[in-house]
Amino acid sequence: MRIGAHVPTRGGLFGAIDSARACRAEAAQIWGSNPRAWAPPSVQADGAREFGRAWRAAGLGPLILHCPYMVNIASPTAAFRRRSVHLATATVALAETIGADGVVVHAGAAGASTERGRAVRVAAASLRAIAGAARHASVLVELTAGGAGSVASTFPEFRELLDACGRHPRLALCADTCHLFAVGYALDSAGGVKACFDELRRLRLSRRLRVIHANDSKFPRGARRDSHTHIGQGYIGKAGFRAILSDPAVRRCTVICETPGKLEDHARNIATLKRLAGLSIRMFSNPPRARPSDRRASTPEMIASTSPICRPTSRSARTWKPA
Ligand SMILES: [Zn+2]
Ligand SMILES: [Zn+2]
């Protein structure tokens, strides 16, 4: 199990290396393009390949891309869905060039009036097209926090979606602890955690689970509110995370926190997760000190790009620097 964070790229993909080191991440998730814009990744193939080599040379572990917020693979509007598939496919292409391990795409939401069977078929058609562009990377379908028209926020719903995709080999599962808790999984107790992952096993999905988004929840269980907070400071709590991190299905995963704040906050959350998982804290032979790039950690760019990422916010994308 590698534990890391969603890190800012600060002016370009290479910034992710400094960011990951600064918070002692052993895995990272990044945006491939502006998370609040339709523009596809603009990075040139040579630069992307060079970044991939530098990432691997730094020994930083799994690297995941997250699709921009606008992507909705189940949109009831055909034009919106086509744009979504196009942007997600472009993100997969970047992942292939970099050599990233996977691309996270939300399971999507159909219109409230869309019949469920149709919503699943539409989302499945989108996913097949996106996964068709992947050769090595996994397309990680992230379960959502529920809400009107949500296609998959539980494991049985993901099973249905995966079957509708013909069990495409490149499709995998990303579970966000805050989202699971928001739809009612009792991740705040050892018994609830066991019941949750036993359901995953019963549905024969444990091998598909590759990424855990480790986020505590600001709202009580079942509130259907997607609001992330620091590990141990929300309703899931440290006991909940200790149980989550000891489950065999989770032990095989890459764990990424998407908690708010700066790199120091990520470092603290990663250290907490490692302690709760019973893993040693990674120490660099030369502990990272504040470098010029680190001093930018409190600039608006940095704050914007480390905000909780699984729901759109009203923050302007003006300050984001495209990769
Ligand atoms: Zn998430
Ligand atoms: Zn997400």
Does 311 fall in a domain? no
Q: Which ligand is nearest to the CA of 181?
A: 1
Does 323 fall in a domain? no
- Its domain, for residue 80, covers 2-305
Q: What is the pLDDT of residues 119-131, one digit of tens each?
A: 999 999 999 999 9
CA distance 275 to 272: 5
pLDDT score recorded for residue 42: 86
Does 170 fall in a domain? yes
Distance 285 CA to ligand 1 centre (A): 32
Q: Which helix (H) or strand (E) holds 57?
A: helix 45-57
Distance 179 CA to ligand 2 centre (A): 9
CA distance 267 to 273: 10
CB contact set of 8 (below 8 Å; sequence gap of 6+): 15, 16, 19, 30, 263, 301, 302, 305, 306
Distance 258 CA to ligand 1 centre (A): 7
pLDDT score recorded for residue 281: 59
The torsion angles phi and psi of 82, rounded to 5 degrees, stand at: -60, -45
Does 289 fall in a domain? yes
Does 322 fall in a domain? no
User: Residues 100, 49, 62, CA angle at the centre, nearest 5°?
Assistant: 20
Q: Which ligand is nearest to the CA of 180?
A: 1
Q: SS3 breakdown of the chain: % helix, strand, coil, rounded to 5?
A: 40, 15, 45
Contact 230, 216 (CB under 8 A): yes
Task: List, for the chain, all residue ranges whose pLDDT scores fall below the cut of 50.
Answer: 284-323
pLDDT score recorded for residue 280: 61
Does 312 fall in a domain? no
Distance 53 CA to ligand 2 centre (A): 26
Distance 311 CA to ligand 1 centre (A): 8
CA distance 279 to 227: 27
CA distance 19 to 192: 34
Task: Look at the chain and report how many structural domains it folds into.
Answer: 1
- Tell me the three state secondary structure of residue 109: strand
Half-sphere exposure of 214 (CA within 13 A, CB side): 36
pLDDT score recorded for residue 249: 97
Does 274 fall in a domain? yes
Distance 140 CA to ligand 2 centre (A): 10
Distance 105 CA to ligand 2 centre (A): 7
Burial, 293: exposed, middle or buried (Cβ in 10 Å; 0-12, 13-18, 19+)?
A: middle
Does 73 fall in a domain? yes
Q: Which ligand is nearest to the CA of 177?
A: 1
Q: What is the CATH number of the domain that holds 6?
A: 3.20.20.150
Q: Which ligand is nearest to the CA of 107?
A: 2
